[in-house]
Amino acid sequence: MSTAQHTLTLTRDFDAPREQVFGAWMEPDQLTKWFGPVDVDAPREKIVVEPKVGGIWQVVMVWTDENGRQEAPIEAVITELDAPGLLVAKAKAAPDSDHEYEEMHLEFEDLGGSRTRMHLTQGPFASEEWVEMTKDGWGTSFDKLDAVLA
């Protein structure tokens, strides 16, 4: 079994106040509008957010491919929460991972003038391939978030 730590780190600036960017992660009615890569949906009825330490943060991504309708649930528990600056959640790792859990660590930095810098650290992943796939998925998700925040 590998002991390598494969971690994703991303930073993204948004033209919106920190409270609004943070809220997009914590409010199901907002999450449904942007969460998931291009051609992937997050149906509102499959989102649960309990905004407290120990609360559930759950999103099911849904898409259709050559095999029909597919679903990828993200079932996490909030381990740290300091609104609107910090959200940390721990989710079950992918089945092929050497790790039991993956952590998503989000920091929201107020840049002033209605701008926010979001720092995302996520992992450990099973491989660098998973890191790259996740990075690509977040990239298009955050493009959708840009449009929602505009």
pLDDT at 94: 65
**Residue 96: pLDDT over 70:** no
Question: Is residue 2 domain-resident?
Answer: no
**Tens-digit pLDDT profile for residues 59-68:** 999 999 999 9
Looking at the structure of the chain, the number of domains it has is 1
**Residue 83: pLDDT over 60:** yes
How far is Cα 98 from Cα 88, in angstroms, rounded to an integer? 21
pLDDT at 1: 36
Question: Is residue 55 domain-resident?
Answer: yes
| CATH value at residue 63 | 3.30.530.20
Transcribe 95-140 into DSSP letters: TT-SSSEEEEEEEEEEEETTEEEEEEEEEEESSHHHHHHHHHHHHH
Question: Is residue 6 domain-resident?
Answer: no
**Residue 20: pLDDT over 90:** yes
| Confidence category of residue 95, pLDDT binned at 50, 70, 90 | low
| Confidence category of residue 115, pLDDT binned at 50, 70, 90 | very high
How far is Cα 94 from Cα 62, in angstroms, rounded to an integer? 16
The neighbour count for residue 28, using CB atoms within 10 Å, is 17
What residues make up the domain containing 74? Answer: 11-149
User: How many Å is the Cα radius of gyration of the chain?
Assistant: 15
**Residue 146: pLDDT over 50:** yes
Angle between helices 18-26 and 128-149 (to 10 degrees): 120
Which residues, in sequence order, are CB contacts of 74 under 8 Å at separation 6+? 57, 58, 59, 60, 61, 91
Question: Is residue 5 domain-resident?
Answer: no
Residue 120: strand pairing partners: 10, 106
pLDDT at 113: 81
Question: Is residue 84 domain-resident?
Answer: yes
**Residue 103: pLDDT over 90:** yes
